Structure 1
Amino acid sequence: MSNAPDPKRWLALALLCLAAFMIILDASIVLVAVPSIERDLTFSAGGVQWVPSGYALMFGGLLLLGGRVSDLLGRRRVFVSGLVLFGASSLLCGFAWSGDTLVLARGLQGIAAAVLAPSALSIVMTTFPDGAERNKALGIWGAVSGVGGTAGSLIGGPVTDGLGWQWIFFINIPVCVLVIALAPVLLQDSRGPGSRGFDIAGAVTVTAALIVLVYAVIEAPGSSAGRTVFLGLVSAALFALFVRIEQKSSAPLVPLRLFRSRAVVGGNLITIAFGFGAFGLNFIYTQYAQLALGYSAVEYGLMSSVLAATAVVGSIAGQNLVTRIGVQRVATVSLLLTGIGATVMSRSTAQSGYFELAFWGLAIFGAGLGAGCVAGAIAALGEVSGDDAGVASGLQNACFQIGGAVGIAALSAVAVANTRGTTPTALTAGYRVAYAACWAFVAVGLVGTGLLVNHKRTRELAAAAERVA
Structure 2
Amino acid sequence: MNVAPTQTEPAARRTDRPGAALAALAAAQFTVMLATSIVNVALPQIRSGAGLSDGGTTWVVNAYGLAFGALLLAGGRAADLLGRRRVLGAGLALFGAASLAAGLATTSGVLITARAAQGLAAAAIAPAALALAMEQFPSGPGRGMALGVWGAVSGAGGAGGVLLGGVLTQAWGWPWIFHSVALGAVLVLAAVVALVPPPDGRRPADQAPGRTAGRFDLPGTAAVTLALTCLVWGLTTARGAGWSDGRVVGALAAAAVLLTAFAVIERRRPDALIPPRLLATGRVAAGNLLMALLGSVWIALFFFLPLYQQQVLGSGPLATGAGQLPLAAANMLGAALAPRVSRRIGATTTVVAALLTEAAGLLWLSRISADGSYLTDILGPSILVGLGLSTAFVQLTGLAVEGVPPQDAGLAGGLVNTTRQVGGAVGLAVLTTLAGSVTSRAAAHQPHLEALTAGYRTAFTVSAAVLAATALLTVLLTRRARPGNAAASRHPASGRRTPTTGPAA
Residue range with higher mean Cα deviation, 182-191 or 169-178: 182-191
Alpha-carbon distance in structure 2 between the residues aligned to 1:368 and 1:133: 21
Residue range with higher mean Cα deviation, 115-124 or 457-466: 457-466
Contact residue 322 and residue 459 of structure 1 kept, 8 A: no
Alpha-carbon distance in structure 2 between the residues aligned to 1:180 and 1:330: 35
Residue correspondence of structure 1 range 364-383 to structure 2 within 5 A: 364-383=384-403
Residue correspondence of structure 1 range 336-415 to structure 2 within 5 A: 336-385=356-405, 388-415=408-435
Alpha-carbon distance in structure 1 between the residues aligned to 2:334 and 2:168: 28
Query: What does residue 95 of structure 2 align with?
Result: 86
Alpha-carbon distance in structure 2 between the residues aligned to 1:69 and 1:159: 35
Q: Deviations over 1:277-315 (max 9, x none)?
A: 111111111111112211012211221222222223333
1:451 counterpart = 2:470: no
Q: Deviations over 1:420-455 (max 9, x none)?
A: 369433332322222223146423564354222189
Query: What does residue 226 of structure 2 align with?
Result: 208
Normalised by the length of structure 2, the TM-score is 0.78
Q: What percentage of residue pairs aligned between the two structures are identical?
A: 35
Query: What does residue 63 of structure 1 align with?
Result: 72
Contact residue 273 and residue 445 of structure 1 kept, 8 A: no
Residue correspondence of structure 1 range 34-433 to structure 2 within 5 A: 34-38=43-47, 40=49, 41-44=51-54, 48-75=57-84, 77-97=86-106, 101-120=110-129, 138=146, 142=150, 147-177=156-186, 190=199, 191-193=207-209, 194-220=212-238, 222-223=241-242, 225=244, 227=246, 228-260=248-280, 263-385=283-405, 388-420=408-440, 423-433=448-458
What is the CA distance between 1:121 and its match in structure 2? 5.3
Quick one: which amino acid aligns to residue 300 of structure 2? G
Alpha-carbon distance in structure 1 between the residues aligned to 2:351 and 2:168: 36
Quick one: which amino acid aligns to residue 283 of structure 1? F
What is the CA distance between 1:234 and its match in structure 2? 2.4
Alpha-carbon distance in structure 2 between the residues aligned to 1:448 and 1:89: 39
Alpha-carbon distance in structure 1 between the residues aligned to 2:32 and 2:370: 34
What is the CA distance between 1:162 and its match in structure 2? 0.9
Quick one: which amino acid aligns to residue 234 of structure 2? A
Alpha-carbon distance in structure 1 between the residues aligned to 2:128 and 2:405: 21
Does the C-alpha gap of structure 1 residues 450 and 98 become closer, same or farther in structure 2, counting only changes over 3 Å? farther
Alpha-carbon distance in structure 2 between the residues aligned to 1:292 and 1:397: 33
Does the C-alpha gap of structure 1 residues 7 and 80 become closer, same or farther in structure 2, counting only changes over 3 Å? same
Alpha-carbon distance in structure 1 between the residues aligned to 2:316 and 2:410: 42
Contact residue 366 and residue 460 of structure 2 kept, 8 A: yes
Contact residue 154 and residue 305 of structure 1 kept, 8 A: yes
What is the CA distance between 1:113 and its match in structure 2? 1.5
What is the CA distance between 1:201 and its match in structure 2? 3.2
Residue range with higher mean Cα deviation, 3-12 or 421-430: 3-12
SS in structure 2 at match of 1:419 = helix
Quick one: which amino acid aligns to residue 52 of structure 2? T
What is the CA distance between 1:218 and its match in structure 2? 3.5
Alpha-carbon distance in structure 2 between the residues aligned to 1:146 and 1:99: 29
1:438 counterpart = 2:463: yes
What is the CA distance between 1:22 and its match in structure 2? 2.4
Alpha-carbon distance in structure 2 between the residues aligned to 1:72 and 1:199: 11
Does the C-alpha gap of structure 1 residues 94 and 379 become closer, same or farther in structure 2, counting only changes over 3 Å? same
Quick one: which amino acid aligns to residue 447 of structure 1? L
What is the CA distance between 1:56 and its match in structure 2? 3.2
Alpha-carbon distance in structure 2 between the residues aligned to 1:372 and 1:184: 31
Does the C-alpha gap of structure 1 residues 347 and 35 become closer, same or farther in structure 2, counting only changes over 3 Å? farther
Quick one: which amino acid aligns to residue 302 of structure 2? N
Quick one: which amino acid aligns to residue 413 of structure 1? T
What is the CA distance between 1:207 and its match in structure 2? 3.1
* Structure 1 gap ranges (5+): none
Does the C-alpha gap of structure 1 residues 249 and 7 become closer, same or farther in structure 2, counting only changes over 3 Å? same
Residue range with higher mean Cα deviation, 345-354 or 381-390: 381-390
Contact residue 53 and residue 405 of structure 1 kept, 8 A: no
Alpha-carbon distance in structure 1 between the residues aligned to 2:353 and 2:145: 31
Residue range with higher mean Cα deviation, 304-313 or 218-227: 218-227
Alpha-carbon distance in structure 1 between the residues aligned to 2:146 and 2:394: 15
Alpha-carbon distance in structure 1 between the residues aligned to 2:224 and 2:62: 15
Does the C-alpha gap of structure 1 residues 202 and 97 become closer, same or farther in structure 2, counting only changes over 3 Å? farther
1:464 counterpart = 2:492: yes
Contact residue 210 and residue 235 of structure 1 kept, 8 A: yes
Quick one: which amino acid aligns to residue 199 of structure 1? D
Residue range with higher mean Cα deviation, 433-442 or 153-162: 433-442
Does the C-alpha gap of structure 1 residues 458 and 187 become closer, same or farther in structure 2, counting only changes over 3 Å? closer
Contact residue 269 and residue 444 of structure 1 kept, 8 A: no
The number of residues matched between the two structures is 465
Does the C-alpha gap of structure 1 residues 192 and 286 become closer, same or farther in structure 2, counting only changes over 3 Å? same
Contact residue 87 and residue 176 of structure 1 kept, 8 A: yes
What is the CA distance between 1:158 and its match in structure 2? 0.9
Quick one: which amino acid aligns to residue 42 of structure 1? L
Q: Deviations over 1:138-168 (max 9, x none)?
A: 5796365564344223322211211122211
Contact residue 276 and residue 407 of structure 1 kept, 8 A: yes
